[in-house]
Amino acid sequence: MGKGIKTFIKNAAPKAFNFLLFLVIWQLIVVVFKIKVFILPSPIRVLQHLFYPPIAAKYNWWLHVGATFMEVIVSFVATAIAGIFIAVMICWSPVMNQLLSPIIILFNSLPKIALAPLFLVWFGYGFLPNILVAFMVAFFPVVINSAAGLMAVEEDLLDLVNYLNATKAQIFIKIRIPNSLPYIFAGLKISATMCVVGSIVGEFIAADKGLGYLLRDAQAFIDTPTMFACLFLLSIIGLALFFAIGQLERLVMPWNRRREA
């Protein structure tokens, strides 16, 4: 375990240093060129908005972060489950494939974000329309990647079980699904980013809380430091989700981890 932490620090140290360097240069530029705070606030100013109690207390950060985070997580889990399930259905049955594929292609060609105003009309303000927007945006990468993975099985691997007269269920459980895991995770990683995008767009249009809502609110008052603070928090949410998926991937596919080592 101690070794694990050591390698983690070893890997993380250069990245942390680069990030700090970036902040220092940013701070210097703002100070040296005397850039006005509503154009580009200094990183110290942004961090004050987040963490310096007298200023931070004015903003209900936890409420907004919590709202956005919940939307991202719920929409991500929903896209993952629905996406993988539908991909399995498409690959399982040719009838399902013919039935669902045209619908998926049609919906995928639609700019999904354009659905957000419609969802506002249908579902009003709040949680549900935001999740639906995120779902619509993030769903297709999972379906398309998972289906591609399930189809992309070497013919020889099928021979390997077919000469023993394997059932269709056995072929799925023992060959197709494990074989598609790398594809599924690639889809999930795209989907995670898209869930953040979808949630924010939903909040722009129909919300009374969340970081997207706060961004628009701050924009109305030209409160640039708050806007930057929102962007900072959004990137943290995105990174956290991405990291979590990476960890899950290592857990589910230990054979890949060994290859890296």
Partner 1 sequence: MISQPRAGKSIGRFALSEKTLLSIKNLKKVFPLQGEELVALGSVSFDVYPGEFVTIVGPSGCGKTTLLKIIAGLLPKSEGEIHVDEAMFDPTREVGFVFQKALLLNWRRVLDNVLLPIEILKLDKKKYRSKAMEMLELVGLKGFENAYPNELSGGMQQRVSLARALIHDPKLILMDEPFGALDAITREKMNLELQRIWSESKKTIIFITHEINEAVFLSDRVVVMSARPSRMVGAVDIDFPRPRKLEVRTTPQFGEYAVKLYKMLEIT
Cα–Cα–Cα angle for 190, 85, 242, nearest 5°? 25
Rounded distance between C-alpha atoms, residue 96 and residue 87, angstroms:
10
Q: Would you say 11 or 156 has its CB closer to partner 1?
A: 156
Q: Which of residues 139-178 bind partner 1 (CB under 8 A)?
A: 154, 156-157, 159-166, 170, 174-175, 178
CB of 212 to partner 1, least distance (A): 39
Q: Give ∠ CA 213-214-217 in degrees, rounded to 5.
A: 90
Residue 178 or 238: the one with the smaller Cβ distance to partner 1 is: 178
Residues 89-128, mask of contacts with partner 1 (x by CB under 8 A): ----------------------------------------
Residue 128 or 151 with smaller CB distance to partner 1 = 151
Can you say how many angstroms the Cα of residue 121 is from the centroid of all Cα atoms in its chain? 26
Smaller CB separation from partner 1, 62 or 163? 163
Q: Report the Cα–Cα distance between both ends of the chain, in Å, rounded.
A: 16
CB nearer to partner 1: give 60 or 162.
162
Q: CA Rg, the chain, in Å? A: 23
We find the least distance from the C-beta atom of residue 156 to partner 1, in angstroms, to be 6
- Is the Cβ of residue 48 or residue 170 nearer to partner 1 in the bound state? 170
3-state SS assignment for residue 85: helix
3, 15, 34, 258: which one contacts partner 1 (CB under 8 A)?
258
CB of 170 to partner 1, least distance (A): 6
Alpha-helix residue ranges (DSSP H) falling in the chain = 2-32, 43-51, 53-56, 61-92, 94-109, 116-123, 127-151, 155-162, 168-170, 177-205, 211-220, 224-252, 254-260
* Closer by beta carbon to partner 1, 175 or else 200: 175
Cα–Cα–Cα angle for 208, 212, 214, rounded to 5 degrees: 65
Q: In the window 234-253, what residues touch partner 1 (CB under 8 A)?
A: 253
Q: At its nearest, how many Å lie between partner 1 and the CB of residue 4?
A: 20
Residue 21 CB coordination number (10 Å): 10
Q: Is 234 exposed, middle or buried (0-12, 13-18, 19+ CB in 10 A)?
A: buried
Query: Does 32 participate in binding partner 1 (rule CB under 8 A)?
Result: no
Number of Cβ atoms within 10 Å of the Cβ of 27:
14
Least separation in angstroms between residue 161's CB and partner 1 is: 5
Residues at the contact surface with partner 1, assessed by CB under 8 A: 154, 156-157, 159-166, 170, 174-175, 178-179, 181, 253-255, 258-259
